Amino acid sequence: MITGPTLHDTSPVLWPWAGAAVVILGVTLCAPFEMNVFVMGAVGVLHIACALRYLVGRTAEVIPPGGGAVIVAWLTVMALIRLISTQWFTAGHRAEVIASGVVMCLVAHLVCRGTLRWTLTGVMVVVTVLGVIHLGWWIFAAAHIHNLVPVVLVWDWARRSASTTRRMVHGFLAVWALVIPALLIGRLITTWPIPRLLPEEIHTNALISAVAPPGADPVTAMGWYAAFCFMQGMHYLFWIGFTHVEGRNTVSVATTLSPLLSGPVMWMGVAVLTVIVAGLQIWDYPVGRMAYSALGAYNVHYEMAALVVVLSQLVSRHR
Protein backbone atom coordinates (compact mmCIF):
# COMPACT_ATOMS: atom_id res chain seq x y z
CA MET A 1 0.00 0.00 0.00
CA ILE A 2 1.31 3.45 -0.90
CA THR A 3 1.53 5.81 2.02
CA GLY A 4 3.21 9.13 2.40
CA PRO A 5 3.49 12.39 4.27
CA THR A 6 0.38 14.49 4.46
CA LEU A 7 -0.59 17.97 5.44
CA HIS A 8 -1.70 16.76 8.85
CA ASP A 9 1.60 17.39 10.64
CA THR A 10 0.38 19.70 13.40
CA SER A 11 -2.87 20.56 15.14
CA PRO A 12 -4.69 22.96 12.82
CA VAL A 13 -5.82 26.45 13.73
CA LEU A 14 -8.48 27.33 11.17
CA TRP A 15 -9.48 30.85 12.07
CA PRO A 16 -6.36 32.69 10.83
CA TRP A 17 -6.83 31.07 7.43
CA ALA A 18 -10.52 31.99 7.37
CA GLY A 19 -9.60 35.56 8.28
CA ALA A 20 -7.04 35.67 5.50
CA ALA A 21 -9.69 34.41 3.08
CA VAL A 22 -11.94 37.34 4.04
CA VAL A 23 -9.09 39.75 3.34
CA ILE A 24 -8.41 38.11 -0.03
CA LEU A 25 -12.09 38.38 -0.94
CA GLY A 26 -12.12 42.05 0.06
CA VAL A 27 -9.09 42.83 -2.10
CA THR A 28 -10.63 40.87 -4.98
CA LEU A 29 -13.81 42.93 -4.81
CA CYS A 30 -12.03 46.27 -4.54
CA ALA A 31 -9.00 45.75 -6.77
CA PRO A 32 -9.36 42.62 -8.92
CA PHE A 33 -6.87 43.69 -11.58
CA GLU A 34 -4.30 44.93 -9.08
CA MET A 35 -4.80 41.68 -7.16
CA ASN A 36 -3.85 39.71 -10.24
CA VAL A 37 -0.90 41.80 -11.40
CA PHE A 38 0.75 43.09 -8.23
CA VAL A 39 0.32 40.00 -6.06
CA MET A 40 1.64 37.79 -8.84
CA GLY A 41 4.66 40.04 -9.24
CA ALA A 42 5.33 40.17 -5.50
CA VAL A 43 4.83 36.56 -4.40
CA GLY A 44 4.27 34.55 -7.58
CA VAL A 45 7.79 33.10 -7.69
CA LEU A 46 7.70 32.43 -3.94
CA HIS A 47 4.49 30.42 -4.29
CA ILE A 48 6.02 28.34 -7.10
CA ALA A 49 9.03 27.48 -4.94
CA CYS A 50 6.89 26.63 -1.90
CA ALA A 51 4.58 24.50 -4.03
CA LEU A 52 7.42 22.54 -5.59
CA ARG A 53 9.04 22.01 -2.20
CA TYR A 54 5.86 20.63 -0.69
CA LEU A 55 4.94 18.52 -3.71
CA VAL A 56 8.39 16.92 -3.83
CA GLY A 57 7.96 15.89 -0.20
CA ARG A 58 4.41 14.73 -0.82
CA THR A 59 5.42 12.50 -3.73
CA ALA A 60 8.86 11.45 -2.46
CA GLU A 61 7.92 7.80 -1.94
CA VAL A 62 7.04 7.27 -5.59
CA ILE A 63 10.10 9.03 -7.05
CA PRO A 64 12.61 6.33 -8.08
CA PRO A 65 16.38 6.76 -7.64
CA GLY A 66 17.58 9.22 -10.24
CA GLY A 67 14.01 10.29 -10.91
CA GLY A 68 14.66 13.84 -9.77
CA ALA A 69 16.72 14.65 -12.86
CA VAL A 70 14.01 13.22 -15.11
CA ILE A 71 11.36 15.32 -13.36
CA VAL A 72 13.43 18.51 -13.73
CA ALA A 73 14.00 17.76 -17.42
CA TRP A 74 10.29 17.10 -17.99
CA LEU A 75 9.22 20.33 -16.25
CA THR A 76 11.84 22.31 -18.15
CA VAL A 77 10.47 20.99 -21.44
CA MET A 78 6.97 22.08 -20.38
CA ALA A 79 8.31 25.54 -19.54
CA LEU A 80 9.98 25.79 -22.96
CA ILE A 81 6.74 24.76 -24.64
CA ARG A 82 5.02 27.62 -22.83
CA LEU A 83 7.61 30.04 -24.15
CA ILE A 84 7.00 28.71 -27.66
CA SER A 85 3.26 29.27 -27.24
CA THR A 86 3.84 33.01 -26.82
CA GLN A 87 5.04 33.14 -30.43
CA TRP A 88 2.95 30.34 -31.94
CA PHE A 89 -0.15 30.37 -29.75
CA THR A 90 -2.18 27.51 -31.19
CA ALA A 91 0.71 25.17 -31.98
CA GLY A 92 2.42 25.84 -28.65
CA HIS A 93 -0.67 25.30 -26.52
CA ARG A 94 -1.64 22.17 -28.43
CA ALA A 95 1.87 20.85 -27.84
CA GLU A 96 1.40 21.55 -24.12
CA VAL A 97 -1.94 19.74 -24.11
CA ILE A 98 -0.47 16.66 -25.79
CA ALA A 99 2.73 16.60 -23.71
CA SER A 100 0.75 17.02 -20.50
CA GLY A 101 -1.65 14.23 -21.46
CA VAL A 102 1.18 11.83 -22.30
CA VAL A 103 2.95 12.50 -19.01
CA MET A 104 -0.24 12.14 -16.98
CA CYS A 105 -0.93 8.77 -18.61
CA LEU A 106 2.64 7.71 -17.83
CA VAL A 107 2.30 8.80 -14.19
CA ALA A 108 -0.98 6.89 -13.91
CA HIS A 109 0.72 3.74 -15.18
CA LEU A 110 3.65 4.15 -12.79
CA VAL A 111 1.77 4.84 -9.55
CA CYS A 112 -1.72 3.39 -10.02
CA ARG A 113 -2.89 -0.19 -10.08
CA GLY A 114 -5.81 -2.14 -11.53
CA THR A 115 -8.99 -0.36 -12.56
CA LEU A 116 -7.78 3.06 -11.42
CA ARG A 117 -4.79 2.91 -13.77
CA TRP A 118 -6.92 2.27 -16.85
CA THR A 119 -9.71 4.62 -15.78
CA LEU A 120 -7.31 7.54 -15.37
CA THR A 121 -5.57 6.68 -18.62
CA GLY A 122 -8.87 6.65 -20.48
CA VAL A 123 -9.96 9.93 -18.93
CA MET A 124 -6.65 11.59 -19.81
CA VAL A 125 -6.83 10.38 -23.42
CA VAL A 126 -10.33 11.85 -23.77
CA VAL A 127 -9.32 15.12 -22.08
CA THR A 128 -6.25 15.42 -24.31
CA VAL A 129 -8.22 14.85 -27.51
CA LEU A 130 -10.90 17.34 -26.45
CA GLY A 131 -8.21 19.82 -25.44
CA VAL A 132 -6.57 19.68 -28.86
CA ILE A 133 -9.93 20.12 -30.60
CA HIS A 134 -11.35 22.76 -28.24
CA LEU A 135 -8.17 24.56 -27.23
CA GLY A 136 -9.86 27.65 -25.81
CA TRP A 137 -11.94 25.58 -23.42
CA TRP A 138 -8.88 23.59 -22.34
CA ILE A 139 -7.01 26.80 -21.47
CA PHE A 140 -10.04 28.09 -19.56
CA ALA A 141 -10.51 24.84 -17.63
CA ALA A 142 -6.80 24.45 -16.86
CA ALA A 143 -6.60 27.96 -15.38
CA HIS A 144 -9.39 27.26 -12.90
CA ILE A 145 -8.59 23.60 -12.13
CA HIS A 146 -5.05 24.66 -11.24
CA ASN A 147 -6.46 26.81 -8.44
CA LEU A 148 -8.47 23.87 -7.06
CA VAL A 149 -5.42 21.70 -6.31
CA PRO A 150 -5.01 23.10 -2.77
CA VAL A 151 -8.66 22.28 -2.07
CA VAL A 152 -8.01 18.61 -2.83
CA LEU A 153 -4.92 18.53 -0.63
CA VAL A 154 -6.64 20.23 2.31
CA TRP A 155 -9.60 17.87 1.96
CA ASP A 156 -7.24 14.90 2.05
CA TRP A 157 -5.53 16.35 5.11
CA ALA A 158 -8.80 17.01 6.95
CA ARG A 159 -9.99 13.47 6.25
CA ARG A 160 -7.57 12.20 8.91
CA SER A 161 -8.55 14.79 11.52
CA ALA A 162 -10.97 14.44 14.41
CA SER A 163 -14.61 14.64 13.37
CA THR A 164 -15.14 18.18 14.66
CA THR A 165 -12.06 19.49 12.88
CA ARG A 166 -12.99 17.59 9.75
CA ARG A 167 -16.45 19.14 9.62
CA MET A 168 -15.07 22.64 10.19
CA VAL A 169 -12.43 22.26 7.48
CA HIS A 170 -14.88 20.76 5.01
CA GLY A 171 -17.25 23.65 5.67
CA PHE A 172 -14.41 26.10 5.09
CA LEU A 173 -13.53 24.33 1.84
CA ALA A 174 -17.14 24.48 0.66
CA VAL A 175 -17.21 28.24 1.19
CA TRP A 176 -13.75 28.69 -0.35
CA ALA A 177 -14.18 26.53 -3.45
CA LEU A 178 -17.93 26.53 -4.08
CA VAL A 179 -19.95 29.27 -2.39
CA ILE A 180 -17.76 32.32 -2.97
CA PRO A 181 -16.80 31.44 -6.57
CA ALA A 182 -20.46 30.72 -7.37
CA LEU A 183 -21.51 34.08 -5.95
CA LEU A 184 -18.82 35.86 -7.94
CA ILE A 185 -19.54 34.02 -11.18
CA GLY A 186 -23.28 34.58 -10.77
CA ARG A 187 -22.61 38.26 -9.99
CA LEU A 188 -24.55 37.94 -6.74
CA ILE A 189 -21.62 39.72 -5.16
CA THR A 190 -19.89 42.14 -7.47
CA THR A 191 -16.67 44.09 -7.60
CA TRP A 192 -16.47 47.71 -6.50
CA PRO A 193 -13.15 48.68 -8.06
CA ILE A 194 -11.05 51.43 -6.52
CA PRO A 195 -9.45 53.96 -8.92
CA ARG A 196 -7.17 52.15 -11.32
CA LEU A 197 -3.61 51.67 -10.07
CA LEU A 198 -2.30 49.70 -13.04
CA PRO A 199 -0.12 51.26 -15.73
CA GLU A 200 -2.07 52.12 -18.86
CA GLU A 201 -0.14 49.62 -20.99
CA ILE A 202 -1.67 46.72 -19.04
CA HIS A 203 -4.96 45.98 -20.78
CA THR A 204 -7.62 44.66 -18.43
CA ASN A 205 -9.53 43.01 -21.27
CA ALA A 206 -6.56 40.73 -21.89
CA LEU A 207 -6.46 39.77 -18.20
CA ILE A 208 -10.17 38.93 -18.23
CA SER A 209 -10.20 36.97 -21.49
CA ALA A 210 -7.33 34.76 -20.29
CA VAL A 211 -9.58 33.10 -17.68
CA ALA A 212 -13.10 33.60 -19.08
CA PRO A 213 -15.09 31.02 -21.07
CA PRO A 214 -14.59 31.40 -24.83
CA GLY A 215 -17.17 33.77 -26.26
CA ALA A 216 -18.49 34.92 -22.88
CA ASP A 217 -20.25 38.29 -22.68
CA PRO A 218 -18.47 41.02 -20.67
CA VAL A 219 -20.58 40.58 -17.52
CA THR A 220 -20.13 36.81 -17.42
CA ALA A 221 -16.43 37.15 -18.21
CA MET A 222 -15.93 39.60 -15.34
CA GLY A 223 -17.65 37.19 -12.94
CA TRP A 224 -15.28 34.40 -13.93
CA TYR A 225 -12.33 36.76 -13.66
CA ALA A 226 -13.29 37.78 -10.12
CA ALA A 227 -13.67 34.13 -9.14
CA PHE A 228 -10.25 33.38 -10.61
CA CYS A 229 -8.63 36.23 -8.67
CA PHE A 230 -10.11 35.05 -5.38
CA MET A 231 -9.13 31.44 -6.00
CA GLN A 232 -5.64 32.50 -7.08
CA GLY A 233 -5.24 34.46 -3.86
CA MET A 234 -6.30 31.40 -1.86
CA HIS A 235 -3.93 29.32 -3.96
CA TYR A 236 -1.03 31.57 -2.98
CA LEU A 237 -2.13 31.56 0.67
CA PHE A 238 -2.16 27.77 0.73
CA TRP A 239 1.25 27.25 -0.82
CA ILE A 240 3.07 30.06 0.96
CA GLY A 241 1.38 29.92 4.35
CA PHE A 242 -0.63 26.80 5.00
CA THR A 243 1.91 24.19 3.89
CA HIS A 244 4.68 25.99 5.75
CA VAL A 245 2.71 25.92 9.01
CA GLU A 246 0.64 22.74 8.77
CA GLY A 247 2.94 20.69 6.54
CA ARG A 248 6.38 21.16 8.05
CA ASN A 249 7.14 17.45 8.19
CA THR A 250 6.32 17.04 4.52
CA VAL A 251 8.49 20.02 3.62
CA SER A 252 11.36 18.54 5.63
CA VAL A 253 11.23 15.41 3.45
CA ALA A 254 11.83 17.55 0.36
CA THR A 255 14.69 19.47 1.94
CA THR A 256 16.52 16.23 2.69
CA LEU A 257 16.23 15.19 -0.97
CA SER A 258 17.65 18.36 -2.50
CA PRO A 259 19.68 21.24 -1.04
CA LEU A 260 18.06 23.49 -3.62
CA LEU A 261 14.78 23.20 -1.70
CA SER A 262 16.16 24.21 1.68
CA GLY A 263 17.59 27.17 3.51
CA PRO A 264 19.46 30.10 1.97
CA VAL A 265 19.82 28.50 -1.46
CA MET A 266 16.08 28.38 -2.09
CA TRP A 267 15.34 31.81 -0.61
CA MET A 268 18.17 33.45 -2.55
CA GLY A 269 16.92 31.88 -5.76
CA VAL A 270 13.38 33.06 -5.02
CA ALA A 271 14.61 36.60 -4.35
CA VAL A 272 16.66 36.77 -7.55
CA LEU A 273 13.89 35.37 -9.75
CA THR A 274 11.29 37.64 -8.14
CA VAL A 275 13.41 40.71 -8.92
CA ILE A 276 13.91 39.51 -12.50
CA VAL A 277 10.23 38.74 -13.13
CA ALA A 278 9.00 41.93 -11.43
CA GLY A 279 11.59 43.96 -13.33
CA LEU A 280 10.46 42.46 -16.62
CA GLN A 281 6.84 43.26 -15.77
CA ILE A 282 7.75 46.87 -15.07
CA TRP A 283 9.85 47.14 -18.23
CA ASP A 284 7.42 45.30 -20.54
CA TYR A 285 4.43 43.65 -18.89
CA PRO A 286 3.76 41.00 -21.59
CA VAL A 287 7.40 39.90 -21.42
CA GLY A 288 7.23 39.66 -17.62
CA ARG A 289 3.98 37.74 -17.83
CA MET A 290 5.58 35.36 -20.33
CA ALA A 291 8.53 34.75 -18.00
CA TYR A 292 6.22 34.06 -15.07
CA SER A 293 4.07 31.73 -17.16
CA ALA A 294 7.15 29.70 -18.08
CA LEU A 295 8.18 29.41 -14.43
CA GLY A 296 4.60 28.55 -13.53
CA ALA A 297 4.77 25.50 -15.79
CA TYR A 298 7.01 23.84 -13.20
CA ASN A 299 4.33 24.24 -10.55
CA VAL A 300 1.25 23.56 -12.68
CA HIS A 301 2.40 20.32 -14.25
CA TYR A 302 3.91 18.92 -11.06
CA GLU A 303 0.60 19.65 -9.32
CA MET A 304 -1.32 17.64 -11.88
CA ALA A 305 1.03 14.67 -11.51
CA ALA A 306 0.85 14.95 -7.72
CA LEU A 307 -2.95 14.75 -7.87
CA VAL A 308 -2.63 11.36 -9.55
CA VAL A 309 -0.32 10.23 -6.74
CA VAL A 310 -2.75 11.48 -4.07
CA LEU A 311 -5.67 9.72 -5.78
CA SER A 312 -3.65 6.51 -5.94
CA GLN A 313 -2.89 6.76 -2.22
CA LEU A 314 -6.56 7.35 -1.39
CA VAL A 315 -7.64 4.27 -3.34
CA SER A 316 -4.86 2.16 -1.81
CA ARG A 317 -5.90 3.06 1.73
CA HIS A 318 -9.45 1.87 1.08
CA ARG A 319 -8.46 -1.55 -0.25
So what's the pLDDT on residue 260?
80
| Rounded Cα gap, residues 68 and 229, in angstroms | 32
Percent pLDDT > 70 in the chain is 93
For the full predicted model, state whether its pTM sits above 0.85. yes
pLDDT exceeds 60 at position 7:
no
- The stretch 125-152 carries a mean pLDDT of 95
Q: Burial-class residue 198 by CB neighbours within 10 Å (0-12, 13-18, 19+).
A: middle
pLDDT band at 196 (very low <50, low <70, confident <90, very high): low
Of 80-94, 122-136, 152-166, 267-281, the least confident: 152-166
pLDDT exceeds 60 at position 3:
no
Instruction: Give residue 280's identity as a one-letter amino acid code.
Output: L
Phi and psi torsions of 191, nearest 5°: -80, 145
So what's the pLDDT on residue 10?
43
pLDDT exceeds 80 at position 141:
yes
| Rounded Cα gap, residues 229 and 212, in angstroms | 12
- pLDDT tens, residue by residue, 155-183: 888 877 777 778 888 999 999 999 999 99
- Closest C-alpha among 18, 23, 16 to residue 171: 18
- Closest C-alpha among 158, 121, 112 to residue 1: 112
So what's the pLDDT on residue 319?
58
Would you say 48 and 298 are in contact if contact means Cβ atoms under 8 Å apart?
A: yes
Residues with Cβ within 8 Å of residue 107, at least 6 apart in sequence: 305, 308, 309
pLDDT exceeds 70 at position 256:
yes
- Closest C-alpha among 291, 295, 293, 270 to residue 282: 291
| Side-chain half-sphere CA neighbours of 113 within 13 A | 8
Q: Where are the domains of the chain?
A: 15-317
